[in-house]
Amino acid sequence: MKLIIAVVQDKDSNRLADALVKADYRATKLASTGGFLKAGNTTFLIGTEDEHVEDIMKMIKDNCKSRDQLVAPISPMGGNADSYVPYPVEVQVGGATVFVLPVEQFEQF
């Protein structure tokens, strides 16, 4: 058994959740925040048998798009102006960041 952890953009989360439910996969959606952009994103926890991992990965790929996002300039804390960028910077946020972990034990009580 595997645990798939997928960080996706909020805009794609409902579509992915619907696709997973439709295919009868169980998942948990967590509201999360990206460390770099400090903007909301969605983290899915999907526990599944090994033979379904490929199908779920394809589902994530098909439902999650990469987008460019503008990072607003932020004043440095403590007055250190060395790293201050006075103009918005564009970063590409990936469609999904996915981790696949082995599950040692799975119980439901």
| Helix pair angle (10-22, 53-63), 10° resolution | 140
Cβ neighbours of 26 (radius 10 Å): 10
Using CB positions, name the residue nearest to ligand 2BA: 34
What is the contact surface with ligand 2BA in residues (CB under 6 A)?
7, 34-37, 39, 41, 91-94, 97
For ligand 2BA, the closer CB: 1 or 37? 37
For ligand 2BA, the closer CB: 91 or 103? 91
Residue 24 backbone zone (phi > 0: left; psi -120 to 50: alpha; other: beta)? left
For ligand 2BA, the closer CB: 41 or 48? 41
